[in-house]
Amino acid sequence: MNTKIKCLLLDDELPGLTYLKMLCEQIPELEIVKAFNDPQKLLEEVSNLDFDLCISDIEMPGIDGLTLADLLKNKLVIFTTAYKNYAAEAFDIDAVDYITKPVTKERLERAVAKALERFQKLEAPKKFIHLNTDKGKALLYFDQIQYFKTALVDSRDKEVHLTDGSFLLLKNINFDSLLSQLPKADFCRVNKKEIIAIKAVQYFSHNEITLSSHEKNGKPIVLVLSETYRSDFLAKVKI
C-alpha cells in the first residue's frame, strides 16, 4: 500500500490517546493530522482540518463517538472502545471497523487496511453527475461539457452546452451547487453568469476567453473573464 490516509485521533483519556498515537505512528499508511482528547474541540476545528479518517473512542463526556461520526459527513471512521455493546450501532452508521480495547498494532493495521480500500474507492474519479433538466434527470458526462451559462428566461436555471453543439436546460440550480459536483481542477467559474470546462479553452487574454466551440453562425464563443475569478482561472491553466 503506498497511499497515505490523513487521520484524526480522538480519545478523552490521555493515556489511551497517547497509546493510540504511538500505534498509529508505526503504521506507514497513516498520516496523523491532529490528536484530540475532547470531542467538542475536534468539532470546533474540523472545518479547518484536511483529513480522511477519524479513529475515535465512543463513550466520552459531552458528545459520544457515534454522534460525532454522524456529524463528520463523508469521512471514514474507525471506533476504538472498551465496550462491545455499541458494535451494531457503529456498523449502522457505516463505520469502517470497530476495535475493542486494548488495541493492538495488528488489529489496528487490519482496520486501516479496510479504511484504505474504502478510501481508494471513494477517490476513484467520477465521470458523470445526475442533474435535473426540463426533460427529466440527465446523465451528464464531464468530458462532454463545454460550459454552463445562466438561462435567459429564468436565472434560477442554467444551460449546459456540450461538445456536440447541443445544450440542456438545468432546472433550479445555482453555480455553487454545480461547482461542488464538478471536478475542481477541470472546471472554473469565469464571471457571474458562466462556468467553463478548462479543456474547452482555446485562447485567453486578461479579460476574455475564447472557447474551441462556435456559435451556430460559425463565430467563436467568447466569454468575459472577470477580475473576481481571474486568479482561480489562471491557477487552473497553470500560468
DSSP letters, 178-223, are HHHHS-TTTEEEEETTEEEEGGGEEEE-SSEEEEEEE-TTSPEEEE
Locate CATH 2.40.50.1020 in the chain: 128-236
Question: From edge to edge, which strands make up the β-sheet containing 187-191?
Answer: 136-141, 128-133, 167-170, 158-162, 145-150, 194-197, 187-191
Give the torsion sign (CA, 83, 12, 7, 90). Answer: positive
Closest CA to 213 of 205, 226, 225, 203: 203
Report the pLDDT averaged over residues 126-137. Answer: 91
Task: Give dist(CA 137, CA 151) in Å, integer.
Answer: 18
Q: Which residue has the cell 495488528?
A: 106
Task: Give dist(CA 54, CA 62) in Å, integer.
Answer: 18
**CB-side neighbour CA atoms (13 Å) of 42:** 29
Does the pLDDT of residue 227 top 90, yes or no?
A: yes
State the cell numbers at 83: 465496550
Question: What CATH number matches the domain at 128-236, 2.70.240.10, 2.40.50.1020, 3.40.50.720, 3.40.640.10?
Answer: 2.40.50.1020
Helices 105-123 and 14-24 meet at what angle, rounded to 10? 70
Q: Which runs of E-coded beta strand occur in 87-165?
A: 97-100, 128-133, 136-141, 145-150, 158-162
Report the pLDDT averaged over residues 61-78. Answer: 91
For residue 145, give the amino acid letter: I
Confidence of residue 239 (pLDDT cuts 50, 70, 90): low
Task: Give dist(CA 151, CA 160) in Å, integer.
Answer: 9
Does the pLDDT of residue 41 top 90, yes or no?
A: yes
**CB-side neighbour CA atoms (13 Å) of 96:** 26
Q: What is the pTM assigned to this prediction?
A: 0.54
CATH superfamily, domain at 5-123: Response regulator (3.40.50.2300)
Residue of 158 and 123 predicted with greater confidence = 158
Confidence of residue 1 (pLDDT cuts 50, 70, 90): very low
Which of helix, strand or coil describes residue 161?
strand
pLDDT in tens, 201-224: 999 999 999 999 888 888 999 999
Locate CATH 3.40.50.2300 in the chain: 5-123
